[in-house]
Structure 1
Amino acid sequence: MAELMLFRRDAEGWDVELSGTTVALEVELQRRVEAGLEVMLGIRFLASEYPTGPWHRGRIDTLGLDENGSPVVIEYKKGSDSGVLSQAVSYLSWLESAHHEVEALVRKVLGAEAAESIDWRRPRMVCIAAGSSRHDRVAVQRLPERIDLVRYRVFEGDLLSLLLVDSSPGSPGAASRRSRERDAVVDTGPPAAVIPDRVEPCLVPDCLRDLYGELDEALTAWGEVEVRRLRHYIAYRLMVNRASVLFRPSHGVILVYLTLDPDTVEFEEGFTRDMRGIGHLGTGDVEVRIASAADLDKAGLLIRRAFEAA
Structure 2
Amino acid sequence: MVGLKLFNTAGGVSEVMPRLAEVEADVQDLIEAHMETMLGVRFLASEYVIDCVDGGRIDSLGIDENFAPVIVEYKRGTDAGVINQGLYYMAWLVAHKDAFRSLVRDRLGAPAASQILWSAPRLICVAGDFTRYDAHAVREHRRSIDLVRYRYFGKDHVGLETVASVTGQSAAARRGRRHAAGLPTGRRQDGAMVELAAAVDEALLGVGDGITRVQRKQYRAYQRLRNFACVCLPQQTKLLVYLKADPQGVDLVPGFTRDVTGLGHHGTGDLEVQLRTERDLERAQDLFRLSYAAA
TM-score, structure 1 length as denominator? Answer: 0.84
| Structure 1 residue 51: Cα displacement | 0.8
> Which residue does the alignment assign to 1:242?
228
Q: What's the offset of the Cα at 1:248?
A: 2.7
Give 1:40 deviation, angstroms: 1.2
- Measure, in 2, the Cα distance between the counterparts of 1:254 and 1:271: 11
Residue by residue, what CA displacement relative to the aligned partner does 1:60-119 show, whole Å, maximum 9, x if unpaired?
111000111110110111111321122122101111121111101101111111100101
Shift of 1:202: 7.7
* Aligned residue number for residue 225 of structure 1: 211
1:5 to partner: Cα distance: 3.1
Partner of 1:7: 7
Shift of the alpha carbon at 1:47? 0.6
Contact preservation (8 Å) 2:120, 2:214: no
Distance (Å, rounded) in 2 between the aligned partners of 1:272 and 1:172: 32
**CA shift in 2, pair 1:216/1:202, >3 Å:** closer
Tell me how many residue pairs correspond in the alignment.
281
User: Which SS does the other structure have where 2:128 is aligned?
Assistant: strand
Q: Distance in 2 between matches of 1:239 and 1:56?
A: 30
Return structure 1 stretches of 4+ with deviation > 6 angstroms. Answer: none
Which residue pairs with 1:271 in the alignment?
256
Instruction: Among all aligned residue pairs of Structure 1 and Structure 2, give the percentage whose two residues are the same amino acid.
Output: 41
Distance 1:7 1:301, change over 3 A: same
What's 1:293 paired with?
A: 278
What letter matches 1:5 in structure 2?
K
Hey, what does 2:175 align to over in structure 1? none
Give unpaired runs (5+ residues) of structure 2.
172-178, 185-189
For residues 3-42 of structure 1, the C-alpha deviation after alignment (integer angstroms, 9 at most, x for no partner) is 4332332424x4x432110110111111111111111111
Aligned 8 A contact 1:72 1:125 in 2: yes
Structure-2 change in CA distance of 1:54 and 1:248 (3 Å) = closer
Q: Partners in 1 of 2:241 and 2:46 — Cα distance? A: 34
- CA RMSD in angstroms comes to 2.1
**C-alpha displacement at 1:201, in angstroms?**
9.4
> Which residues of structure 1 form unaligned runs of 5+?
174-199
Q: How far is 1:233 from its partner?
A: 1.0
> Residues 201 and 218 (structure 1 numbering): CA distance in 2 closer, same or farther, change over 3 Å?
closer
1:257 aligns with 2:242: yes
| Residues 1:118 and 2:131 aligned together | no
Deviations 1:260-284 (A, max 9, x none): 2222223222221222211111111
